[in-house]
Amino acid sequence: MKRPEKILVDIEIDKLTNSIENSASGDVFDTDIFQLYSNDTKQINKAVWQFNWQEQLKLNDRETYKLVIRNNPKIIQGLISISDLGDHIYMHLIESAKFNKGKTKIYTGVPGNLVAFACKLSFDKGYDGYLAFDAKTVLVRHYQETLFATHYKGTKMIIETPAANRLINQYFKK
C-alpha cells in the first residue's frame, strides 16, 4: 500500500479549557473520546471536515479517535489520527469540526483536548507522555507557547513528559 504524503499539523490551539467550552456562554461540557473505525465513515460528514478522514481510517498503521460531548456521541467535535511507534505516539492529523473553527466557532478547547488525549494514551502505553508531530513552520512558536511543545528540528515537534502532564491535568482531572 502506498503511504500518503506527510501532512503537517495545521491547527490553532484556541484555548486550553477544562473540557470543551461553549464560545458564547462559557458553559463547559464533559467529553468522551472513542476510537473511530472504517465502518463508522457514515459519521464523518465530508461538508464538516477539511481533511479526508475516510482515507485515514483505511491506513493500518494508525488509529483515529473522535471527540464528542458526553451523552451526545453522534456529533463529532474533533478528530485525531495517531500511531503507536513503540516508544512514543505520533500525531499524523488533527482537526476540529468546521463549526468549531473561526470567529463563529461553537466550542473552544477541542484541539487541546485531543492532544491531551494523545499524551494520556502515551502514558497509558508506558511512553512517559511523549508525543511527536510535524508542524507547519509558521505554527512552531504557537505550539511551543500553547502546548509547551519542544521544537526538535525541521518541522518536528515533541511534547515531553512535563508538558504532557500539564495538558493531561488540564483536561483529565480525576
Query: 60: Cβ–Cβ under 8 A, 6 or more apart, which residues?
Result: 1
Average the pLDDT over each of 2-6, 13-17, 25-29, 91-95 and give the range with the smallest value. 2-6
Query: 161: Cβ–Cβ under 8 A, 6 or more apart, which residues?
Result: 128, 129, 130
Dig out the grid coordinates for 65 from the structure.
479517535
Highest mean pLDDT: which of 7-16, 27-36, 55-64, 117-126?
117-126
- How many residues are listed for the chain in this entry? 174
Using alpha carbons, list the distances in angstroms from residue 140 to 6, 21, 109: 16, 25, 19
> Mean of the pLDDT values across residues 6-23?
74
Q: Between these two residues, 156 and 18, which has the higher pLDDT value? A: 156
Collapse the DSSP code of 135 into the 3-class scheme (helix H, G, I; strand E, B; otherwise coil) and give the result: strand
**pLDDT at position 113:** 94
The residue with cell 494514551 is 121
Number of alpha helices (DSSP H) and beta strands (DSSP E) in the chain: 4, 10
pLDDT tens sequence across 133-149: 999 888 899 999 999 99
**pLDDT at position 3:** 43
AA identity, residue 9: V
Closest CA to 63 of 90, 95, 100: 90
- The CATH T-level fold of domain 20-171 is Aminopeptidase (3.40.630)
Name the CA radius of gyration of the chain, rounded. 15
**pLDDT at position 17:** 72
Backbone conformation region of residue 126, classed left if phi is above 0, alpha if psi is from -120 to 50, else beta: left
Average the pLDDT over each of 15-19, 73-77, 153-157 and give the range with the smallest value. 15-19
**pLDDT at position 137:** 86
**pLDDT at position 42:** 80
> Is the pLDDT confidence value at 10 over 80?
no
Under DSSP, the state recorded for 31 is E
Q: pTM, whole model, 2 decimals?
A: 0.90
> Is the pLDDT confidence value at 174 over 70?
no
Average the pLDDT over each of 44-58, 103-117, 147-161 and give the range with the smallest value. 44-58
Neighbours of 131 (CB within 10 A): 27
> Mean of the pLDDT values across residues 72-86?
94
Domain residue extents for the chain: 20-171
> Is the pLDDT confidence value at 18 over 50?
yes
Using alpha carbons, list the distances in angstroms from residue 131 to 151, 162, 171: 12, 12, 16
